[in-house]
A and B are shown apart, each in its own frame.
Chain A
């Protein structure tokens, strides 16, 4: 067990190294003037100025030198300041958002965290509930219905589902608007009287005693939550169902039945805890990938998180920005995978004790 964790941790630097090399290879496809966005805010149109920038930031140097500078940064020969270095948090400048990428990430991240926090409960909770219902009623109507429901769910392109949801629940019924806050509410939130403690609007609204803003934020969260839930339920339903079916066939479950427990007791006390181990690990991965931004859902609903920023940057071919998001999400996913593997080992005594 300890050996397994150590091996996983030892392999991580290699994977991270590979990921950064691959990303930098993609950067090296760009022209020097595009690459200049790694270091300067405005790309000059003037050739002579551009040549100066290429020299100053070493954009004509061999690729391994450029990679190293990109990774750890270096001292600027002109100003003497440290420039670049993704390890120091310098990802370059975002053309599409006209600000440093790191600042863009910092500003957009709370909205994504908020969306993740609110979506993860319905995704996992209802997905698991349906999965257990399907497994306990194996081959009965509930199983068939949830099966059809889940095939349609994972076939539904998220942007089609999201736009249909907007059409019905916003354009027609006017229930749930897109965006993050109504104009009146964002005015209040931006005013000096409103204290932002966490930058999670719902939490801050309650801390400021503004229930109306809290409710307004929830109304805006509804559509993305509904969309993310529906397209993710299928996954949880299937994993829970197959894991539960397997567990119900185990001998210890047969023993529990044989000693006279009710079916409900067997399911709740004996089968479910073990059947949910794979769900726990899957949940970790879902949270991690949602924290990296759900590009399409955020874009459709005009939700100001990481994902919609990445989508907008890509549409404007702002490579440096999209790339930084990819790098960040990749990093989160690597960490999450590690945590999940360790968690898995702790949850499952068969792995823990071997």
Chain B
């Protein structure tokens, strides 16, 4: 592997502003550049220049907006868990989009009133069991983000712990931790996650946790390896040596000097894996190892379509609305991630498969 390239040293000179600065014309540097610093400025400029990553950002912003505004877009009943999808009766036959909500509709949202409607309609139809698909898709955005952030955060935490200990202590600790990592990497990801969530479901009950824990336990390895590599280079820097010379303890050197300087690239890339995490979670939910029936979760909603396969042409809306929501969510993160990986770090090119 090539020697890791220091980000600050790469390709700075292709920005016109840098050229301008070199020619002693600092007045031409845009205020944005002084605000962000030359490196972040380059990053931001490259991201906003690329139409694909722009679409990605737009999608991510859209989903964050929807999940924040979920109580306004689809107000829940005042007294119930908002993540539980309200249902319009219990009939087995799905209802078409646009059908009026007959039984016990939740509060009418303001925007629907403003459009001149006086009662709730099933905008995206209902699935078998009369769960409202629109409500599920909107609140599903919220649970997707929640699940994605929690799982990603905890996965990264384990990765940082294992990777930094391994890189810092090297020698025997490193050998043991890396063999340990290798053993975890041997497992087929989906099957292992299925197994662990099947074990945890009777213990913890159905819900977000069994599948989340399973995805964390079998998902941290690549981060540990990346961080280990970065720690190995940071460890040799002079300021670390200086800290050691003045007698700083290992724990202090690690937490104050090494980790903050080694985790930045991995953290950015990890945050972009949220899309992939959400798909894995949805896959487990789809297979029936995840949330309870009726929880606002896209994988769960999509799994309703399995009961109608011969008639999907007629009941397309049970599949298409939640399916497209999930696809666009992942697409958003991947579009941004793809662009960022190319810009951020040449070592990362082609990762993220």
Contact = CB atoms under 8 A, between A and B. Distances in A.
Interface of A: 14-15, 18-19, 22, 26, 29-30, 147-148, 151-152, 154-160, 163-164, 166-167, 170-172, 178, 234-235, 238-239, 242, 289, 292-293, 295-296, 299-300, 310-311, 313-315, 317-319, 322-323, 325-326, 329-330, 333-334
Nearest to A318: B198
Contacts of B141: none
Interface in B262-312: 275, 279, 282-283, 286-289, 299, 302, 305-306, 309-312
Centre residue among A164, A167, A311, A325 by max chain B CB count within 10 A: A167
A100 B163 CA distance: 41
Contacts of A154: 334, 353
Given A178-B309, A314-B288, A163 B190 contact: no
A14 B179 contact: yes
B331 A15 contact: no
Given A19-B187, A155-B330, A310-B191, 18 more contacts: A151-B52, A151-B334, A151-B338, A154-B353, A157-B323, A157-B327, A160-B319, A160-B326, A163-B302, A163-B309, A167-B313, A289-B188, A295-B194, A295-B287, A314-B197, A325-B191, A326-B191, A326-B194
B323 A26 contact: no
A279 B117 CA distance: 57
Given A151-B335, A155-B334, A296 B191 contact: no
9 contacts: A156-B327, A156-B330, A163-B302, A164-B320, A171-B313, A239-B353, A317-B198, A322-B198, A326-B188
Given A14-B179, A26-B199, A157 B334 contact: no
B8 interface: no
B192 interface: yes
Contacts of B201: 317
Nearest to A27: B199
Interface string B332-343: 001100100000
Contacts of A315: 287-289
B116 interface: no
B259 to A, nearest CB: 27
B245 interface: no
Contact of B323 (A18, A160, A317): A160
A238 B195 contact: no
Centre residue among B203, B311, B327 by max chain A CB count within 10 A: B327
A22 B183 contact: yes
A171 B286 CA distance: 20
Centre residue among A147, A160, A239 by max chain B CB count within 10 A: A160
A194 B309 CA distance: 31
Interface string B170-203: 0000000001101110111011101111111111
Given A163-B323, A242-B349, A330 B309 contact: no
Contacts of B326: 157, 160
A333 B186 contact: yes
Q: Is the interface of A mostly helix, strand, loop or mixed?
A: helix
B330 A157 contact: yes
A323 B191 CA distance: 8
Contacts of B188: 289, 292, 326, 329-330, 333
Contact of A334 (B186, B311, B313, B330): B186
B169 interface: no
A244 to B, nearest CB: 12
A152 B188 CA distance: 24
B31 interface: no
Nearest to A28: B199
Contacts of A334: 186
Contacts of A293: 191
B306 A18 contact: no
A310 B283 CA distance: 14
A130 to B, nearest CB: 15
B69 to A, nearest CB: 24
A235 B334 CA distance: 13
Nearest to A14: B179
Contacts of A164: 319-320, 323
Contacts of A235: 353
Nearest to B278: A157
A15 B185 CA distance: 10
A145 to B, nearest CB: 12
A326 B186 contact: no
A18 B186 CA distance: 10
Interface string B192-217: 10111111111100000000000000
B319 A310 contact: no
Given A151-B334, A172-B313, A330-B186, A157 B279 contact: yes
B233 to A, nearest CB: 23
Contacts of A292: 188, 191
Contacts of A326: 187-188, 191-192, 194-195
B287 A163 contact: no
Contacts of B247: none
Contact of B190 (A157, A296, A330): A296
B48 interface: no
B350 interface: yes
Contacts of B282: 157, 159
Given A292-B188, A317-B201, A322-B195, A166 B331 contact: no
Contact of A166 (B198, B312, B330): B312
B239 interface: no
B111 interface: no
